C-alpha cells in the first residue's frame, strides 16, 4: 500500500508545538495525523486535540462563507454574502472611523489561537500602518515574563529536552500531565530510566501530583513564603554555592535577610505545611544539583502571581545554577517580531490598552471599530459582563475572522471564514523547545475560507494604502525576521523541509543592569516595586471560597468543543465544605460574587483542600452564563497580568 507523507506543525498555544506527519494512504483517499517519532519532544504521539484535528477541520461548525449579522440577535447566524460585499462593508466602515474618530478608535484584538508567524504576527502590518490601537497581550503569561526579567533580564530557562538528564524535577503550579503531555512524558522517562524524583507543589491533587514522589499541597497564594522557607533551610544548612553567589549575583544579602524571617514555624502558621515536609524538599534540592523547576503559567494568573514567579526562580541561583528553571523560552530566540508586524517599518505609534481590562474600555465606548481574529474573547477575557456589553454597543462595528462559529462570532456585525492550519503554510516558533520546521499545507482550503494575510492585503488595497511593506511576500518577510535566529545561515534549509534549531541566548547571559542575577532587582526599585519578592497578606471573607481553574486535556482554551462537547460546567468541592453547606455530589449550585452569578454542578472530592474550589477553565454555566463573568479584571502590579485564580466566590444550593 503506497503512502504519501506531508510534514506539518501544530500551531496551538501549547508548550509542545508538536511536529506532525500527515499520512495519506489508499491512493490519497485516507488521511491521518500522527506525531513525528524523530522529534525529541513530539516522540511519536499526539494529544487528544492533535488526534482530532482533522475532524475539527471538517466540522459542521466551520464558518464557510462571509456573513452579515445582526449582533443584537446572537442566536441567529446572519445572511451569507460575497467576499466582495463583506470587504466593501468592512473597508467602508474603516474609512468612516478613520475620518470621524481617528485611528485610535480602531482596535485589533488577537491572541494565540494560532501561533504561526504568518497567522499571528504578519497580519498586524495593516493595523500598524494605520496606527490603530492594540492591547498589551497581558491576559496569559506577561506578568511571569516581566517578573523573571526583573532578576534575570529575560524569562528564558532550561530547554525541555534536558528534562531527561535531571535527577530532580519540580513542577511548581504546573499540571504538565494535562497541559504539556510531551514534556510530562520526558519527566516520566527520567523518573523511570534515571531514577529522577518528581516533586509537585500544587493546591490540588492534580494528574501530575498523583504521579509525584512528593506532593506539597500548598495553599493558593503562599508560594513566595514557601520559596523563602526553602531558601532559609538551604542557607542555614550550608547548602548554598558561595562561589557562584559571589561571581554571578548581586543583592543576595537582602534576599537572605528576608528568607530568615520564614522559619518552619512561621510557614506552618501561614500554610499548615509540616516543617518536616519542607525540610525533605529542601534537603533534596540542596544536595541534588542536577535539577530543574518548571514554573506553571496558571500559578502566576493570580494577584500575587508575579511575586511567586520571582521568588521561585531565585532558588536555583541559591544553589549555584544558571537559570535552573523553565517558564517559557520564547524570549531566548532572536526573532525580529517588530519587522514581521511592521512596527519597526512605520513612524506611527499605537495606543496600547490593557487586555485584562478591555471590557471596561469597550463598555465605555472608547472604540468604534473592533477587528478580532485568532481569539475567542467572549469566553476568555475576565469581566465578561462588561466585555459583552461593549460588543453590543450600537456605535461599535465588530468584525470577526474565524475558522469556527464561536461565542465571539455571535456578537459580530461581519463574520469572515478563516483557514485552519492544515489548509495553509506557516512557521511556528515554539515557546518551550528550540526545534522549528516549516508547517506545510496538508489539504486544500475549505470553500470560501481565506487566510489572514489575504484579508489584510485586500483591505489595504481598498483603503488605498501605498506602503510596499504591506504587500511584501510573506516568506520574504520571514527570511528577514529569521536572519539571525537559526543554527544554519541558510533559511532555504528550513523552506526545503529540514528541521532546524533556533539559536538561543546562553543560560549564563543576564541582560540586567548589573549583567548578573539580581536577587534585589535594581529595575524593580527604579519602578517603585519591592526589589525582592514579597509575600502578600492573605485575605478572605467568612464563607467565601477561592475559585481555581485550569485546563482539561481535551481542550485548548475554548477550542475542540465541537469535537468533545461542551467544557463541563462543574466545580470540585471538599467533603468538609460540602457537608457544612449540605451539598451532595451532583447538586446544582450557584457561584456568585459582586460581578455576577453562574449555575454549575458539584463534584465532591478530596483533590481540593477545604475552602478551595476548582473548575475547568472557560466553561459556560447554566443559562448561558460564562465562567469569566465571575473573574475580576484587576491587573497585577507587575506586568498587568490577569488574576483568574484569585477569584473569590460564595456558593449556595439551587
For each of the domains in the chain, give its residue range(s) and CATH number, in order of start: 3-57 (2.20.25.90), 153-330+507-526 (3.40.228.10), 545-653 (2.40.40.20)
Q: What is the pLDDT of residue 150?
A: 98
Strands of 296-439, DSSP E? 325-326, 352-353, 369-373, 397-402, 414-417, 426-427, 435-436, 438-439
Of 97, 80, 67, whose CA–CA distance to 370 is shortest?
A: 97
More confident residue, 356 or 623: 356
CA distance 621 to 477: 44
Using CA of residue 51, residue 55, residue 56, residue 57, what is the dihedral sign?
positive
pLDDT interval class at 2 (50, 70, 90) = low
pLDDT interval class at 616 (50, 70, 90) = very high
DSSP secondary structure code for residue 120 in this structure: I
Q: What are phi and psi of 209, to 5 degrees?
A: -60, -35
> Has residue 392 got a pLDDT over 70?
yes
Q: What is the pLDDT of residue 490?
A: 79
Please give the average per-residue pLDDT across 461-467, as a whole number. Answer: 98
CA geometry: angle at 460 spanning 455 and 461, to 5°? 100
Q: What is the pLDDT of residue 610?
A: 96
pLDDT interval class at 334 (50, 70, 90) = very high
Average pLDDT, the chain: 96
> Has residue 433 got a pLDDT over 80?
yes
Q: What is the pLDDT of residue 564?
A: 97
**Consecutive H or E run containing 303:** none
pTM of the full predicted structure?
A: 0.97
DSSP secondary structure code for residue 112 in this structure: S
Tell me: the pLDDT tens digits for 475-508? 999 999 999 999 887 788 998 989 999 999 999 9
Pair type for strands 19-25 and 30-35:
antiparallel
Please give the average per-residue pLDDT across 440-445, as a whole number. Answer: 94
Tell me: the pLDDT tens digits for 168-202? 999 999 999 999 999 999 999 999 999 999 999 99
> Has residue 214 got a pLDDT over 90?
yes
> Has residue 634 got a pLDDT over 70?
yes
User: Are the C-beta atoms of 511 and 365 separated by less than 8 Å?
Assistant: no
Candidate from 16-30, 35-49, 322-336, 570-584 with smallest mean pLDDT: 16-30
pLDDT interval class at 25 (50, 70, 90) = confident
Q: What is the pLDDT of residue 3?
A: 78
> Has residue 67 got a pLDDT over 60?
yes
Q: What is the pLDDT of residue 76?
A: 75
Grid coordinates standing for 566? 461542551
Q: What are phi and psi of 409, to 5 degrees?
A: -60, -25
Q: What is the pLDDT of residue 28?
A: 66
81: region left, alpha or beta (phi > 0 left; psi from -120 to 50 alpha): beta
DSSP code per residue over 27-82:
TTTEEEEEE-TTSTTTTT---HHHHTHHHHHT-TTB--S-EE--TT-TT---EE--
Which residues partner with 438 through β-bridges? 427
DSSP code per residue over 499-559:
-EEBP---TT---STTSSEESS-HHHHHTTS-SS--PPPP---TT-EEEEEE--TT-BTTB
Per residue in 363-381, is it b (16+ CB within 10 Å) or e — as a string? beebbbbbbbbbbbbbbbb
What is the distance, to the nearest Å, from the Cα of residue 348 to the centroid of all Cα atoms in its chain? 29
Q: Where are the alpha helices (DSSP H) in 109-164?
A: 124-130, 142-152
Tell me: the pLDDT tens digits for 227-246? 999 999 999 999 999 999 99
User: Are the C-beta atoms of 428 and 399 separated by less than 8 Å?
Assistant: no
Q: What is the pLDDT of residue 73?
A: 81
Amino acid at each position: 500500500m503506497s503512502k504519501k507523507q506531508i510534514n506539518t506543525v501544530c500551531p496551538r498555544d501549547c508548550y509542545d508545538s508538536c511536529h506532525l506527519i500527515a499520512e495519506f494512504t489508499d491512493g490519497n483517499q485516507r488521511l491521518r495525523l500522527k506525531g513525528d517519532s524523530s522529534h525529541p519532544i513530539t516522540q511519536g504521539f499526539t494529544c487528544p486535540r492533535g488526534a482530532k484535528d482533522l475532524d475539527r477541520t471538517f466540522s459542521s461548525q466551520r464558518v464557510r462563507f462571509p456573513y452579515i449579522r445582526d449582533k443584537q440577535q446572537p442566536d441567529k447566524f446572519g445572511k451569507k454574502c460575497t467576499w466582495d460585499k463583506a470587504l466593501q462593508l468592512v473597508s467602508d466602515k474603516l474609512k468612516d472611523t478613520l475620518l470621524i474618530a481617528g485611528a485610535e478608535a480602531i482596535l485589533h484584538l488577537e491572541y494565540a489561537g494560532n501561533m504561526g508567524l504568518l497567522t499571528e504576527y504578519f497580519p498586524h502590518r495593516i493595523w500598524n500602518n494605520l496606527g490603530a490601537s492594540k492591547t498589551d497581550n497581558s491576559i496569559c503569561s506577561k506578568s511571569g515574563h516581566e517578573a523573571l526579567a526583573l532578576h534575570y533580564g529575560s524569562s528564558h530557562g532550561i530547554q525541555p529536552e534536558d528534562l531527561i538528564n535531571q535527577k530532580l524535577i519540580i513542577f511548581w503550579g504546573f499540571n504538565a500531565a494535562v497541559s504539556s503531555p510531551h514534556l510530562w512524558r520526558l519527566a516520566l522517562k527520567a523518573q523511570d530510566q534515571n531514577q529522577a524524583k518528581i516533586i509537585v507543589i500544587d493546591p490540588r491533587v492534580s494528574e501530575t501530583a498523583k504521579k509525584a514522589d512528593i506532593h506539597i499541597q500548598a495553599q493558593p497564594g503562599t508560594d513566595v513564603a514557601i520559596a523563602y522557607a526553602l531558601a532559609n533551610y538551604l542557607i542555614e544548612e550550608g547548602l548554598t554555592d558561595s562561589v557562584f553567589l559571589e561571581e554571578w549575583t548581586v543583592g543576595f544579602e537582602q534576599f537572605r535577610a528576608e528568607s530568615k524571617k520564614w522559619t518552619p514555624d512561621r510557614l506552618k502558621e501561614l500554610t499548615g505545611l509540616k516543617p518536616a515536609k519542607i525540610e525533605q524538599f529542601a534537603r533534596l534540592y540542596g544536595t541534588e544539583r542536577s535539577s530543574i523547576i518548571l514554573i506553571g503559567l496558571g500559578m502566576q494568573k493570580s494577584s500575587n502571581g508575579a511575586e511567586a514567579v520571582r521568588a521561585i526562580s531565585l532558588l536555583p541561583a541559591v544553589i549555584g545554577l544558571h537559570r535552573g528553571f523553565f517558564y517559557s523560552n520564547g524570549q531566548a530566540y532572536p526573532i525580529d517580531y517588530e519587522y514581521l508586524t511592521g512596527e519597526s517599518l512605520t513612524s506611527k505609534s499605537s495606543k496600547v490598552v490593557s487586555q485584562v481590562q478591555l471590557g471596561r474600555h469597550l463598555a465605555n465606548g472608547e472604540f468604534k471599530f473592533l477587528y478580532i481574529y485568532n481569539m475567542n474573547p467572549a469566553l476568555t477575557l475576565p469581566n465578561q459582563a462588561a466585555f459583552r456589553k461593549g460588543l453590543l454597543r450600537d456605535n461599535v462595528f465588530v468584525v470577526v475572522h474565524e475558522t469556527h462559529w464561536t461565542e465571539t462570532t455571535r456578537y459580530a456585525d461581519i463574520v469572515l471564514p478563516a483557514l485552519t492550519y492544515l489548509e495553509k503554510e506557516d512557521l511556528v516558533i515554539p515557546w518551550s523547545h528550540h526545534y522549528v520546521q516549516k508547517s506545510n499545507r496538508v489539504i486544500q482550503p475549505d470553500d470560501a475560507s481565506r487566510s489572514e494575510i489575504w484579508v489584510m492585503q485586500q483591505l489595504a488595497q481598498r483603503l488605498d494604502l501605498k506602503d510596499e511593506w504591506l504587500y511584501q511576500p510573506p516568506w520574504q518577510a520571514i527570511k528577514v525576521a529569521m536572519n539571525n535566529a537559526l543554527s544554519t545561515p541558510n533559511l532555504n534549509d528550513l523552506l526545503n523541509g529540514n528541521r532546524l534549531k533556533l539559536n538561543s541566548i546562553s543560560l549564563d547571559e543576564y541582560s540586567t543592569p548589573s549583567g548578573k542575577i539580581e536577587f534585589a532587582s535594581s529595575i524593580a526599585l527604579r519602578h517603585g516595586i519591592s526589589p525582592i519578592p514579597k509575600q502578600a497578606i492573605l485575605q478572605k471573607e467568612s464563607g467565601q471560597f477561592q475559585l481555581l481553574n485550569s485546563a482539561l486535556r481535551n481542550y485548548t482554551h475554548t477550542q475542540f468543543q465541537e469535537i468533545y462537547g461542551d467544557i463541563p460546567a462543574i466545580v470540585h468541592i471538599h467533603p468538609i465544605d460540602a457537608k457544612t453547606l449540605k451539598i451532595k455530589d451532583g447538586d446544582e449550585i450557584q457561584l456568585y460574587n459582586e460581578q455576577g452569578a453562574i449555575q454549575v454542578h458539584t463534584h465532591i472530592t478530596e483533590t481540593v483542600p477545604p475552602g478551595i474550589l476548582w473548575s475547568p477553565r472557560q466553561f459556560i454555566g447554566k443559562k448561558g452564563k460564562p465562567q469569566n463573568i465571575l473573574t475580576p479584571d484587576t491587573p497585577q502590579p507587575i506586568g498587568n497580568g490577569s488574576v483568574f485564580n484569585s477569584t473569590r466566590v460564595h456558593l449556595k444550593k439551587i
